[in-house]
């Protein structure tokens, strides 16, 4: 499906890039979100980025999404006051 090595997935887990759930037998279970992140990370590693840099990029992308959500809420409240 993802065409990546198991060792690569383990490294992503060890570096806290993804946090898959575990089965009762200890096997990693990847969510759809995890799979999307792995695809994104794979593209960045192919461009030569380190996992430390990738983890920081993912953190910043998450923070940016939070800020955009807050901004949308503020705009919605302001639009509600103007009507």
At residue 31, the pLDDT reads 94
Which residues, at least 6 apart from 22, have a Cβ–Cβ distance to it below 8 Å?
28, 29
Helix axes 51-82, 32-46, angle to 10 degrees: 120
At residue 3, the pLDDT reads 86
At residue 82, the pLDDT reads 74
Using 70 as the pLDDT threshold, list the residues of the chain that sit under it. Answer: 1, 83
At residue 83, the pLDDT reads 66
- Using only the alpha carbons of the chain, give its radius of gyration: 17
At residue 81, the pLDDT reads 82
Q: Determine the Cα–Cα distance for residues 26 and 23; give it in Å rounded to an integer.
A: 5
Domains of the chain: 6-82 (1.10.1660.10)
16: nearest Cα among 62, 72, 67, 70: 62
């Amino acid at each position: 499906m993802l065409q990546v090595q198991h060792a690569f997935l383990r490294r992503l887990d060890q570096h806290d890039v993804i946090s898959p759930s575990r089965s009762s037998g200890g096997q990693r279970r990847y969510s759809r979100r995890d799979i999307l992140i792995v695809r994104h990370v794979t593209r960045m590693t192919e461009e030569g980025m380190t996992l430390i840099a990738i983890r920081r990029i993912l953190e910043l992308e998450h923070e940016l999404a939070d800020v955009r959500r807050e901004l949308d809420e503020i705009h919605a409240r302001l639009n509600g006051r103007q009507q």
